[in-house]
């Protein structure tokens, strides 16, 4: 049975279509994933693996990799003109995803907000950053419109709670999911940095989880940014699997108990061209995949009825 393990360009510091250092190409990333044994890759920024759907599909096919989905931020609280531009980008991404015989989901999220990024894991502090009841209605309606647009393409859809957005803390995730029927991308790193417990999040909303981002993080940078009121980025805290502060062994056991069969996407966020050794990043992602495989025995068994 095929094991749906993938990685993502952000692991190599790719935040946009042109953020690789000199001498490094998207094909180098795909070759590293192929060599390590991954089954797929998230597509990253529109155009990164090809200028259009045909070229993107041909490139991934050349390396024997499947599409594990793509991340698309939306800004429903920034007015109709901004939202329409975001929906146009969503349509473009969905066109690419729909060109694959099978694909992981289009992963919706709110675009990050600078004010919120300065107050990660804020708890009850800074209530001025909380959404009002009216804003909650606009927000959920906007994301529901994103789902409506994406559903026209016949591809899976998911929502990604993310630090630096209005849906990062446990009560925010709960209120959002209670207010809609969108499936959930559970990102272990963003959950922990937002003040949640990934295992408890899986317990609360496991029936809605259709996509997993597997990160390990050191919580010290999270706590420091929270205490100092400085901008937090996931690249400040991401470490190799098993080397951080999260109970990822327990999380993998919890996935096994649920017989989760969707994509597991390894992410180890880095800043664009942050001076990291790309050859070592390649080797580290091989080790990350070995870590995941050693804890994924349930995926080799027949699907439960």
* pLDDT score recorded for residue 20: 80
pLDDT of residue 22: 75
Q: Is residue 114 part of a domain?
A: yes
**Into how many domains does the chain fold?**
1
Looking at residue 256, its pLDDT comes to: 97
**Is residue 126 in a domain?**
yes
Q: Give the pLDDT band of residue 17 (cuts 50, 70, 90).
A: low
Domain span holding position 178: 5-299
Q: Is residue 305 part of a domain?
A: no
Q: What is the CATH number of the domain that holds 227?
A: 3.20.20.150
**Residues 5-11, mean pLDDT to the nearest whole number:** 97
Q: Is residue 295 part of a domain?
A: yes
Is residue 148 one of the residues assigned to a domain?
yes
Residue 304 lies in a domain: no
Query: How confident is the model over 242-283, as pLDDT tens digits?
Result: 999 999 999 999 999 999 999 999 999 999 877 788 899 999
Q: Token pair of 122, please?
A: 């804020």
Cut 0.85: pTM above it: yes
Handedness of CA 51, 53, 54, 59 (dihedral sign): positive
Is residue 70 one of the residues assigned to a domain?
yes
Tell me, yes or no, whether 108 lies in a domain. Answer: yes
Q: What is the pLDDT of residue 18?
A: 61
């Amino acid at each position: 049975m095929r094991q749906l393990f993938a990685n993502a360009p952000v692991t190599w510091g790719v935040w946009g279509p042109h953020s690789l250092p000199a001498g490094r190409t998207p094909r180098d990333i795909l070759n590293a994933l192929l060599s390590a044994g991954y089954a797929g890759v998230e597509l990253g920024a529109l155009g990164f693996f090809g200028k259009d759907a045909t070229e993107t599909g041909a490139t991934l096919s050349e390396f024997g990799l499947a599409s594990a989905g793509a991340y698309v931020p939306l800004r429903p609280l920034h007015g109709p003109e901004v939202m329409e531009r975001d929906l146009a980008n969503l349509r473009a991404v969905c066109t690419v995803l729909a060109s694959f015989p099978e694909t992981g989901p289009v992963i919706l999220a709110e675009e990050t907000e600078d004010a919120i990024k300065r107050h990660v894991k804020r708890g009850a502090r800074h209530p001025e950053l909380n959404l009002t009841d009216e804003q909650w209605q606009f927000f959920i309606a906007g994301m529901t419109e994103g789902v409506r647009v994406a559903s026209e393409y016949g591809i899976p859809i998911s929502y990604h709670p993310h630090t630096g957005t209005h849906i990062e803390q446990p009560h925010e995730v709960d209120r959002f999911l209670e207010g809609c029927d969108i499936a959930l991308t559970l990102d272990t790193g963003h959950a922990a940095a937002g003040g949640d417990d990934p295992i408890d999040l899986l317990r609360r909303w496991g029936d809605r989880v259709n996509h997993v981002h597997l990160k390990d993080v050191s919580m010290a940078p999270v706590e420091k940014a929270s205490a100092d009121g400085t901008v937090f980025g996931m690249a400040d805290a991401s470490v190799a699997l098993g080397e951080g502060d999260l109970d990822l062994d327990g999380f993998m056991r919890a996935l096994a108990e649920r017989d989760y069969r969707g994509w597991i996407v390894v992410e180890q966020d880095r800043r664009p061209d942050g001076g990291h050794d790309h050859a070592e990043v390649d080797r580290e992602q091989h080790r990350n995949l070995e870590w995941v495989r050693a804890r994924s025995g349930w995926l080799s068994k027949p699907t439960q009825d």
